[in-house]
Structure 1
Amino acid sequence: MSIQPHSFFSGALYARKSCFVYVPAGYEQSEQRYPVIYLLHGMHGSESSWMLKGNAEQTLDQLMNNGELIPSIVVMPSDGGYGQGTFYMDWYDGTGNFEQYFIYDLVPEIDMHYRTINSGDQRVLCGLSMGGFGAVSLALRHPERFGAAASLSGGLVSSQHLREQYARSDVGRMIGPLHGPYAESYDPQLVANLRMQDGRRPALYMNCGTSDYLYTMNQDFHQHLKTIGYTHTYEQFEGEHNWTYWKEHLPDALRFIQSYLAH
């Protein structure tokens, strides 16, 4: 197993970007194609966060060696690198097309240069905090491109959570009017409702620490999915919003991804 840096040009952002790509054992010696896991970082992070702080390479090695995770290509990308965090969204005020960068630049780049199984049901997302929101949002908004999403301590923020902080942050720049159609198109609860209506439902997994400041937000999203009948997996453990928790519970998210890919 090894991690390789990969640089490419993003037309959506008109900028050079880079990511780190984990390839499984035997990749160089075979012609096999592999499913792809996109591992997303949180606020203030970068494409190197999971590798340097999250013990990702060792965790992936261990799970694949033990047969607990199917050999996969794992991509650790940047969120686009703007401000404190882009939330993997196209910003309402035109600051940056960070969702288009991910969907139309990054994903095709990986499929072009690595032996992926180029199919939505073999392409999954996993992320922490802001990256948890990104994983769930991208999967729900693009169910034809991603078959599953896993969130650790996700910032699964809906309109109801934004009311108090909306005027005092850059949230308005991201989503525009709080009750407008653009904001609604990124509200994970409302997008989940749409997926229930059209039947295109990516498999969803969430876990969160019970001492995490985002615990209530995760509980709310879990309860909403239960209410609308969206089958999903939710787990909670003791822990806070930190790398100690994410390193310990990344394997839980990856085992869910394994259960999805195995079927």
Structure 2
Amino acid sequence: MRQDPALGGDPGFQDFLALELMPRAEHEFGAAAQPDRSIIAGQSFGGITVLMTAHRHPQRFGKVLSQSPSLWKAPEIIRAYADEPCDLRLHLSVVTSGAWPTTPANCTGTAWRTVSARR
């Protein structure tokens, strides 16, 4: 998979989130250590980042919320999930109409699609 740092594809950043930030949040704030109680979320480029990070570190993040990820910049992440399934809950929201709503409330008809899956 392409590792584009501008899209959160930097493995060092993904490792930082999973191996440094989360353990510190556990220690200082009591964040859950178990993957089935940990969620990572992002929107747009952040949506790509969370998809890549959760795929790289499924032992840390068991739940993913990816809102309107910029899949056009890194479509191979979808293939990575298909080729290398991992045990996580994925909630993926994408715009399908070509219009860019500022909030989900601005979406009408079939413009907003939500996919939830568990492997």
Say whether the fold is shared (TM-score over 0.5). yes
User: Partner letter of residue 15 of structure 2?
Assistant: Q
- With over 3 angstroms needed to count, the CA separation of the structure-2 counterparts of 1:140 and 1:147, relative to structure 1, is same
How far did residue 154 of structure 1 move? 0.5
How far did residue 123 of structure 1 move? 0.5
What are the ranges of 5 or more consecutive residues in structure 1 without an aligned counterpart? 1-84, 92-96, 160-186, 213-238
The answer for the alignment partner of 1:108 in structure 2 is 23
How far did residue 87 of structure 1 move? 2.5
Per-residue CA deviations over 1:135-193 (Å, capped at 9, x if unaligned) read 1111122111111112111123235xxxxxxxxxxxxxxxxxxxxxxxxxxx4412431
How far did residue 100 of structure 1 move? 2.1
Instruction: Confirm or deny that 1:158 pairs with 2:75.
Output: yes
User: Partner letter of residue 107 of structure 1?
Assistant: M
The answer for the alignment partner of 1:45 in structure 2 is none
Percent identity between matched residues is 23
CA contact (8 A) 1:209 1:245 kept: no
Determine which of 178, 191, 208 is the counterpart of 2:94. Answer: 208
User: Partner letter of residue 66 of structure 2?
Assistant: S
User: Partner letter of residue 62 of structure 2?
Assistant: G
User: Partners of 1:155 and 1:102 in 2: how far apart?
Assistant: 20
Instruction: Confirm or deny that 1:124 pairs with 2:34.
Output: no
How far did residue 245 of structure 1 move? 2.1
User: Partner letter of residue 9 of structure 2?
Assistant: M
Per-residue CA deviations over 1:28-86 (Å, capped at 9, x if unaligned) read xxxxxxxxxxxxxxxxxxxxxxxxxxxxxxxxxxxxxxxxxxxxxxxxxxxxxxxxx73
How far did residue 201 of structure 1 move? 2.3
Determine which of 54, 62, 65 is the counterpart of 1:139. Answer: 54
CA contact (8 A) 2:40 2:63 kept: yes
User: Partners of 1:193 and 1:206 in 2: how far apart?
Assistant: 18
User: Partners of 1:134 and 1:208 in 2: how far apart?
Assistant: 15
The answer for the alignment partner of 1:192 in structure 2 is 82
Calculate the TM-score normalised by the size of structure 2. Answer: 0.69
User: Partners of 1:109 and 1:116 in 2: how far apart?
Assistant: 9
Instruction: Confirm or deny that 1:88 pairs with 2:8.
Output: yes
Higher relative contact order (CA 8 A, sep 6+): 2
User: Partners of 1:105 and 1:99 in 2: how far apart?
Assistant: 10
User: Partner letter of residue 88 of structure 2?
Assistant: P
Q: Which has the larger radius of gyration?
A: 1
The answer for the alignment partner of 1:148 in structure 2 is 63
- With over 3 angstroms needed to count, the CA separation of the structure-2 counterparts of 1:123 and 1:103, relative to structure 1, is same
- With over 3 angstroms needed to count, the CA separation of the structure-2 counterparts of 1:107 and 1:247, relative to structure 1, is farther
The answer for the alignment partner of 1:245 in structure 2 is 103
